[in-house]
Amino acid sequence: MCHNLLQDPNFLRWLVRIDQELAAPIHAEPCPCGGIRHRANYPRKPRGCPPSIRDQFASRLSFCCNRCRKRATAPSVRFLGRRVYLALVVVMKASRLTAKTPGVGQMCDQLAIPLRTLQRWRAWWVQNFPLTPLWQARCDRFLPPVAHDELPESLLARFLGPPASRLLHALVFLTPLTVRPRITLHEGR
């Protein structure tokens, strides 16, 4: 499924539009210092991205205050934090892969992903993702509980619709992991 979605320019353009919609409120919101936020995108060299649309994935939407220069980076469905591979590749290709999985070598060659990288992603999903504040806060919303040893497949299975829709819902669910949490200071504390 992922390979088909990676080759579908409409799906990939849809991800760009979602990122733009996620960035709009960040851009419109004034900086806490009162300054205006201007576009200051981060350049990216996304791996796992088809060359035909690489230019649309060559930057991460971010903004910079004209007064204090503080950055505000928008959440993203295209990128999973600072990982260099597209989020959709990290979500879909981090299944139960081993060196003995049929076709894993060919898949790694097609997407230029070292097998060790796939194994690291798998370990992150099974060991680290369940410890994230996002998962700790939201895991109880899934009934029956999501099997941690089957992540990310068990998470994708909880979303309804065709495969593209489930993947899109999962990517939106993961957007809090794509940015550092904002720290807000409350008066009197």
Which residues lie across from 79 on neighbouring strands?
A: 86
Q: How confident is the model at residue 186 (pLDDT cuts 50, 70, 90)?
A: very low
Strand 62-65, strand 42-43: pairing:
unpaired
Domain ranges of the chain: 2-177
Which among 108, 75, 106, 92 is positioned nearest to 164, based on CA atoms? 92
What is the rounded distance in angstroms from the CA atom of residue 105 to the CA atom of residue 95?
Answer: 14
- Rounded to an integer, the average pLDDT of 140-169 is 91
Flag whether pLDDT at 78 surpasses 90: yes
CB of 59 closer than 8 Å to CB of 43? yes
- Rounded to an integer, the average pLDDT of 87-107 is 70
pTM of the predicted structure, to 2 decimals = 0.85
Mean pLDDT of the chain: 85
pLDDT (0 to 100) of residue 185 = 46
